[in-house]
Amino acid sequence: MKILVAIKRVIDANVKVRVNTDNTGVETTNVKMSMNPFCEIAVEEAVRLKEQGVATEIVAVSIGPQQAQETLRTALALGADKAILVKSDDDLESLAVAKVLKNIVQKEEPQIVLLGKQSIDSDNNQTGQMLGALLGWGQGTFASEVKVADGKAQVTREIDGGLQTVELSLPAIVTTDLRLNEPRFASLPNIMKAKRKPLEEIAVADLGVDVAARTETLKVTNPPARSEGIKVESVAELVDKLKNEAKVI
Amino acid sequence: MTTLVIAEHNNEQAQASTFNTIAAASQLPGDTVVLVAGHNCQAAAEQVAKAQGVSKVLVADADYYVHLLAEDLEKLVVSMADDYSHILAPASTFGKNFAPRVAAILDVQQISDITKIESDDTFERPVYAGNAIATVKSNDSKKVITVRSTGFDAVAQEGGSAAIEVIDSTGHADTASYVGEELTVSERPELTSARVIVSGGRGMGSGENFAMLETLADKLGAAVGASRAAVDAGYVPNDYQVGQTGKIVAPELYIAVGISGAIQHLAGMKDSKVIVAINKDEEAPIFQVADYGLVADLFKVIPELNEAL
């Protein structure tokens, strides 16, 4: 069984993001970029499914600028067998990304598409679900456990009230939540090996997919700052402040 | 223009997020119609019909809607979409699960997690874990939107008398089926609508130690939350998690105990009205957002606090 993993290159999770001076976005020059953490979990899950003998081939796909190649090399070092970079210098919206992925899925014919539940830049949480709808496939979103057997996937999902389990007939979409697994680090020999694995590049324009933007970002601003607080010295002082100053208890 | 709100409910009762979403819909031009899809969900429909700002409630009742699978809800909402300019759902795991499917079939770029409505096509939404606020204009003719509950005060749940109409169900997709659920049962208020929240982090040291936070929560009528670190360590279940990818909360009072304050956690709680931080590390980033900080050993001061209240 083939598994497709979609990954995104984003500002590293440990970078303190700053709004740029002309309020059009955030500062990206000289900022460390990495694989979106939820996508790392998706790659790890694909590798584990291959180690379990469920999957036979893992294809990693990314849509982004030339530098997204590095992100794909990381996926190859972690255990993906081949990679596809759909080159786009514009930041595509999730609907456009889902359409591009649909095109790739139709060529690659995977049984499972694994994606992170959201990227930590746009925080949209849309692409997997959109891809599921466009393909007419079932989905297990926010997965904390995935079991694949007999042409079906059983996915345990993290929902607001606790956990829910659904059964999906394959092919299907799975989006990953934080506790699905703990991603491994790529070993040096595997990083070297990854350099020789196939990485195909396609220009997004060559796919014939409508990727036109549907929204405009009018401005990006800092969130309202909180006024500076105070330190209290004791429990008694804290209780007094909450009762008499903040009046919340 | 008419807005369709998809209600989140458990067939007996509508979730609080439904009333925040109706509040957002009320800020848009035109009427607000609410869809209650479910099974034996009359009670939830009647509750929604009494809410302020609702002009009509549509009920789709079928056994396969009992757990509101995204694949089934997609078909239903898409079949109704022609009549509406805006389709709104709560930005909870319920709304996040199905709304993008509806948007994709309608060929619309969804606007997720809005916190403010500027006009019928322009919205504010946090990005980068709330470290930036984007103002986004949608050029799609129809809008599909998820609403962050903390951005909109819930409408009153009484005084309204909307008509309830039954509509046709649209069938069960054979691509996905429900297997089971493990829901956390608690007598305490729900995290996303609690007035007070007591949250614990890695500093709690164990799941057993959460008992003292529960005592504190019960004294304050509070919900109990946690940081990702505490959930990852297995101290408490996943549904306790407050943060960028967990629950977004904005209570009157948020008490963070043994939480260092990673940006991903702050993203989920920094809109709280009053924040108290208790941590023995005075350099902990949580103190930067706290109104009242107490640098102390939580194992000493939480029992003291429980005594004092």
**pLDDT tens string B8-48:** 999 999 999 999 999 999 999 999 999 999 999 999 999 99
Nearest by Cα to B3 from B103, B144, B104: B144
The answer to whether residue B54 scores a pLDDT higher than 90 is yes
CB atoms within 10 A of CB A77: 21
pLDDT at B276 over 90: yes
For residue A226, the model assigns a pLDDT of 87
Across the interface, of A231, A239, A248, the residue whose CB is closest to B309 is A239
The verdict on B230 touching A (C-beta cutoff 8 Å) is no
pTM (two decimals): 0.96
Chain B nearest CA to A6, separation (Å):
17
Is the Cβ of B136 closer than 8 Å to some Cβ of chain A?
Answer: yes
Task: Give the closest residue to B127 by CA, choosing from A217, A213, A179, A211.
Answer: A217
SS3 B281: coil
- C-alpha to C-alpha distance for A194 and A31, rounded to whole angstroms: 25
User: Is B245's pLDDT higher than 90?
Assistant: no
Q: What is the DSSP letter of A186?
A: P
At A139 the three-state DSSP class reads: strand
Q: Do A239 and B305 touch (CB under 8 A)?
A: yes
Instruction: Supply the ipTM of this predicted assembly.
Output: 0.96
Average pLDDT along chain B: 97
> In the beta sheet, which residues pair with residue A146?
A155
* Rounded distance between C-alpha atoms, residue A130 and residue A144, angstroms: 20
**DSSP-derived pairing of the beta strands B132-138 and A33-35:** unpaired
Q: Where are the alpha helices (DSSP H) in A68-194?
A: 68-78, 94-108, 127-135, 188-194
Instruction: Name the residue among B231, B273, B292 with its Cβ closest to that of A229.
Output: B292
What was the pLDDT predicted at A228?
85
Chain A neighbours among B 186-225 (CB < 8 Å)? Answer: 192, 196, 220
Instruction: State how beta strands A199-203 and A82-87 pair.
Output: parallel
The parts of chain A modelled with pLDDT lower than 50 are none
Smallest Cβ distance to A161: which of B183, B244, B287? B183
Q: What per-residue confidence (pLDDT) applies to A128? A: 98
Using CA coordinates, name the residue in chain B closest to A127: B100
Per the CB < 8 Å rule, is A123 touching B109?
no
Q: With both helix axes pointing from N to C terminus, report the angle between A127-135 and B70-80 in degrees, rounded to the nearest 10.
A: 70
Q: Which residue of A has its CA nearest to B121?
A: A215
pLDDT digits (tens, 9 = 90+) for B90-105: 999 999 999 999 999 9
Q: How far is CA B146 from CA A114, B58, B125, in A?
A: 23, 19, 10
B229-236: which pairs have CB atoms within 8 A and are 24 or more residues apart? Answer: B229/B201, B229/B202, B229/B259, B229/B260, B229/B262, B230/B200, B230/B201, B230/B202, B230/B204, B231/A179, B232/A178, B232/A179, B233/B202, B234/B207, B235/B200, B235/B204, B235/B206, B235/B207, B235/B209, B235/B210, B236/B200, B236/B207, B236/B210
* Mean pLDDT, residues B142-153: 96
Searching chain A, which residue's CA lies closest to the CA of residue B289?
A226
Q: What are phi and psi of B35, to 5 degrees?
A: -95, 125
